[in-house]
Amino acid sequence: MNKEHLPPQGKHKNRKRDVLRSVVVAISLMVLFLTVPISHLDPSPWWLILLAVASVAVLLTALVRLINHGASLFRLLNLLMIVAMGFAFGFYGVAVHMPGQFEGISTRVDALYFTLTTMTTTGYGDVHPTGQLARILVSLALVFDVIFLGLVGGEISRHASERRSRNSGIDQ
């Protein structure tokens, strides 16, 4: 049964599940971001490889769910959180292990702040990429943003169109 044809209590139950899933994703990502060893003081560089593999696996899982189940706003929000934390991890790892790539990233909070200001295209300029690898990573984040904004715009447009057709009594 399609979500649009569910009785009101079914839609409400799905929305509660989606909100709960998004909260769990956000909390899990934040805990991982703040606790996984990644700095030059951490004992093993194997964490970086494990982190990269795990990040790719989580991203692929999110993308497969997006493709198989459609681009709901909650799935897009979860994808955004996963990608933002992935970039924050990457920016911090590069800043710590390759000095000179970033100006102004010395903590995880700096990396998250830079990621969010970059992904929202705010870019205050206090933290910025200075090395070639850092600029490539930031460019990838900006490309993701453009694609992501298109997906969100399309999903909002779809919801508005469905609402208009329901209100006017026209089936599409």
What are the tens digits of pLDDT across the range 120-141? 888 888 999 999 999 998 998 8
Closest to 70 (Cα-Cα) out of 16, 14, 108, 31: 14
Residue of 40 and 35 predicted with greater confidence: 35
Q: Where are the domains of the chain?
A: 3-168
Residue 102 φ/ψ, nearest 5 degrees: -130, 145
What are the tens digits of pLDDT across the range 2-33? 454 445 555 667 878 888 888 888 888 888 78
Query: In this structure, which topology does domain 3-168 adopt according to CATH?
Result: Helix Hairpins (1.10.287)
Length of the chain equals 172
Task: Say if pTM beats, i.e. exceeds, 0.75.
Answer: no
Q: How far apart are CA 131 and CA 128, in angstroms?
A: 9
Helix (H, G, I), strand (E, B) or coil at 102: strand
